[in-house]
Every structure is written in C-alpha cells, then in structure tokens.
Amino acid sequence: MPAKTINDIVALCKRRGFIFTGSEIYGGLGGAYDYGPYGVELMKNIRAAWWNAMIYSRNDIEGLDAAQITNRLMWKYSGHESSFSDPLVECKKCGARMRQDKMKDPTKCDNCGSTDLTEPRAYQLMMGLSIGAMADGAINAYLRPETATTTYVNFKNVMDARPHKLPFGIAQIGKAFRNEISPRGFVFRMREFEQAEMQYFVNPADDEKYFEMWKKIRMDWWINALGIPAEKLRFTPHEKLAHYAKAAGDIEYEFPDGFDEVEGIHNRQDFDLGSHTKAQSEFKINAHVMENKDSTIKLSYSDPQTGENFIPYVIETAMGVNRAMLAVMLDAYTDEQLPDGKSRLVLKLKPSLAPVKAAVIPLVRNVPELLTIANNIENDLRKLHIGRIELENSGNIGKNYRRHDEIGTPVCITVDHQTMEDNTVTMRHRDTMVQERVAITDVPRRVMEIING
C-alpha cells in the first residue's frame, strides 16, 4: 500500500464532502474550515463517543456548555492576557512569520533559509472582541481560547446545582479560537477548532493517583472508542512544565510526518480555581453577590466529613476533536490492491463512527418494484435511530460501492430481482467485500450487530 499523506485526506475530504476550505469562494481564510455532510457526521460520532465515556458511563462527571464569547476579565485573571502567547519570529529577507518553537531550525527562515531573523516576541493568541452598542473598538471580550477556563469559572454553579464529593469532574465539548501564527497540517492546527476537555477535581493528596488513572482511561479510549491501534499511539511527558503544572504530557498519534499531540493530560494543581478565587477577593467584581453574602465567591470545596475548606487540584484531559477526526481518517484510509489487479480506496472506520451506517441500493435504478422494497428497508433501518441511512437511486452499482467504500459505510444492502421472488437481499461488507444473501426481515438485526460490533 502506498504511504498515505495528509494530502490524500485533504483530497478525499473535498471530493466526498467531509471538509471544505472556509470562505472558499472568497479565497479562503487561513485556519478556518467548513465541515460538509459527512464531516459533520464523523465529528458528531466522535463527540458522542467522548460524551458516552465521560458522562453516560460514569456518575462522577457533569456536562457543561459555556459561552464562547467571554468577559475580558476572565482572561486577565486567568493569566492568559499576559501569557497566552507564542514566540513570533519574522524573516527580515522574505517577511515570513513563524512560531519559533515549531521551526525546523530556529536560526534559519523556514521559507527562504535566511539567517536574518528578528528576535522572538510574544504574540498574543487570543481573539479580542469589541462587543455592544457602546463599544468604541476597545477589547472588552474574548473568544475563548480553550474550554477549560470557562469550566473553572462555573465550578461553584455546577457544585451548587449538583453537589458531589471529591473526586468529581466537569466535561465540556465546544469551540475554541486561537490566532495561531501559522495554521498548518489541514485541520491539525486551526484558528477555530473544537475541544473536548474534562476537568477532574481531586483532593490534593490524591493528585498523582488520578493523573495516572486518567492517562490510562484516555489512552484506552483512543484505542477502544476510536479504534486506533495501540502502536500508533504513545504518551510523552512534557519536558518543560508550564508554571502551573505539576505533571503533564501528551497522547500522541503517529501522523505521516511523525508523532504529534492529539490530547493533553495535565495536573494543574489549584492554579486555576485559586487564581479566580484570588481575583474575586482582590477586585470585588462580584459586588452584587457580596451584598448578599459576607464573603466573596470562593471556588473551593468543603469536606463534609472534616469540615475542612480547600481548593481542589485539577487533573485535566484536553482533546482536540478535529485532530481526533484527522487521526481517525488517516488511520482508516486504505488504498487497497485487489486480486484482479485493480485497487480501491476504502475508509476502514470503526462502524460506530461511520458517517453513513448503511446504504440501500436497488440494483437497477428507476424500477418501481425494486425502489418500493428499498424504501421499506430504508424506513426499517431509520427506526433503529443509529444515524444516517442512505438510499441510492442513481449511478451504477459499482460506482455506489466505490463511493460508500470511500466514505466508510460499513454495509451496503442491494435489492435485486431475486428479492422479488424470495424476499432476500445482498449484504456487502465494506472491509472484506464479502456479499451474502440475507432475509429482509433479518436486515435490521444484522445491521445493528455490525454497528455495535
């Protein structure tokens, strides 16, 4: 099989309707992408797999969906306004702008090779907004650059509504925005992207235990829920820890250019809840709340047994959903040599992630009898509520199989003349191309088995 590249995925995404360039007909916009009919399905299925694991399979994690436009003060007191930046270097010869820590050789321009470079300067990554009718152009809000901080500031809200003993978590999936210096690698580094992040609040005495626990849970999820082989994944501890972190590392996937981060796991100690608690007491920005209470808002926890009040530590798991989709597609992409000398492209996705769960195809198009039976099968499959079912009444059967192989449809159900005689159809399995005759009445059960398989 020829080595696959990111460009293979870019081409497939465009051709089959997974991902398009953002603002395409106006020349595009760096780092912004639009998700098409199959891209939205694959993203939705990855999100669902994460939400199932984080929320529905446990009783200690709550869900949250915070606003993406946020008060500027949140990021002032979180420390982002002063320190959420990347080192920007400019080439004095060709004008290229680069992120110094990602340059191939920090002494040479990535574009023209010149060594005449500016000193690095801190480049602020947050996208500022000027919101409201009174706005005079001054930044008074930010598009959030991560979901995590919008979770920390809701710690007390969630605790009040759904009291928990430690340890417990809050999970969020949503958009984040960063003014990346150089978006690259298709959807690997974007300016608008999606994160699935979970903050697990623990007693400081237990932090190491839970850091290890989440490393394992998350790695297992990549293998079992996304179907990525273990040998394509590794955990790499950070060499240099951020000032707030006690331990941190990345789950990395082996992309065509080598291993790179897809999810971060961090022990952030009490930095975030501590910073926001301190900000509240120092700057009294919750004056109206304080009128009713004699204390400021404390993002802290009172142990029901000991009465001790403290700020919990946070173990964070931070995944990029777009990067997960890219890894899943790269892994599934197979350029397969067939025994007859031909080849086919097939996306060997885990069936639960497939954008289309099953396709129903009348062997000959526009034959009313075949179409009626196909419609009935389609309706029976829709009642399973397993996701998108497609009925094909165009093109020839070979073309239909090829398209469904490329978008990863696990099974095609073909209705032919024999169907009218004996109420059986052909089920063609994507990965093996094996075709078997199945009674129509058995189709829904068989499709369920394949999807859950």
Residues engaged in binding ligand ATP (CB under 6 A): 146, 178, 180, 189-190, 193, 195, 261-264, 318-320, 322-323
| Residue of closest CB approach to ligand ATP | 320
The distance of closest approach from Cβ of residue 193 to ligand ATP in the complex, given in angstroms and rounded to an integer, is: 4
Q: Which is nearer to ligand ATP, 65 or 436 (CB)?
A: 65
The distance of closest approach from Cβ of residue 195 to ligand ATP in the complex, given in angstroms and rounded to an integer, is: 5
The distance of closest approach from Cβ of residue 58 to ligand ATP in the complex, given in angstroms and rounded to an integer, is: 21
Q: Which is nearer to ligand ATP, 217 or 440 (CB)?
A: 217
The distance of closest approach from Cβ of residue 422 to ligand ATP in the complex, given in angstroms and rounded to an integer, is: 51
The distance of closest approach from Cβ of residue 148 to ligand ATP in the complex, given in angstroms and rounded to an integer, is: 8
The gap between the terminal CA atoms of the chain, to the nearest Å, is 26
Q: Which is nearer to ligand ATP, 194 or 405 (CB)?
A: 194
The distance of closest approach from Cβ of residue 171 to ligand ATP in the complex, given in angstroms and rounded to an integer, is: 14
Please say whether the beta carbons of 31 and 192 come within 8 A: yes
Q: Which is nearer to ligand ATP, 167 or 264 (CB)?
A: 264
The distance of closest approach from Cβ of residue 45 to ligand ATP in the complex, given in angstroms and rounded to an integer, is: 17
* Distance from the Cα of residue 40 to its chain's centroid: 11
Backbone angles phi, psi at 199, to 5 degrees: -110, 120
The distance of closest approach from Cβ of residue 322 to ligand ATP in the complex, given in angstroms and rounded to an integer, is: 5
The distance of closest approach from Cβ of residue 129 to ligand ATP in the complex, given in angstroms and rounded to an integer, is: 18
The distance of closest approach from Cβ of residue 324 to ligand ATP in the complex, given in angstroms and rounded to an integer, is: 7
Q: Which is nearer to ligand ATP, 316 or 406 (CB)?
A: 316
d(CA 156, CA 107): 48
d(CA 453, CA 434): 17
Closest CA to 97 of 183, 189, 191: 183
Q: Which is nearer to ligand ATP, 173 or 190 (CB)?
A: 190
Q: Which is nearer to ligand ATP, 264 or 408 (CB)?
A: 264
Q: Which is nearer to ligand ATP, 31 or 274 (CB)?
A: 31
Q: Which is nearer to ligand ATP, 171 or 377 (CB)?
A: 171
The distance of closest approach from Cβ of residue 31 to ligand ATP in the complex, given in angstroms and rounded to an integer, is: 7
CB neighbour burial string for 304-338, b if at least 16 within 10 angstroms, e if fewer: eeeeeeebbbbbbbbbbbbbbbbbbbbbbbeeeee
Q: Which is nearer to ligand ATP, 172 or 424 (CB)?
A: 172
Q: Which is nearer to ligand ATP, 146 or 270 (CB)?
A: 146
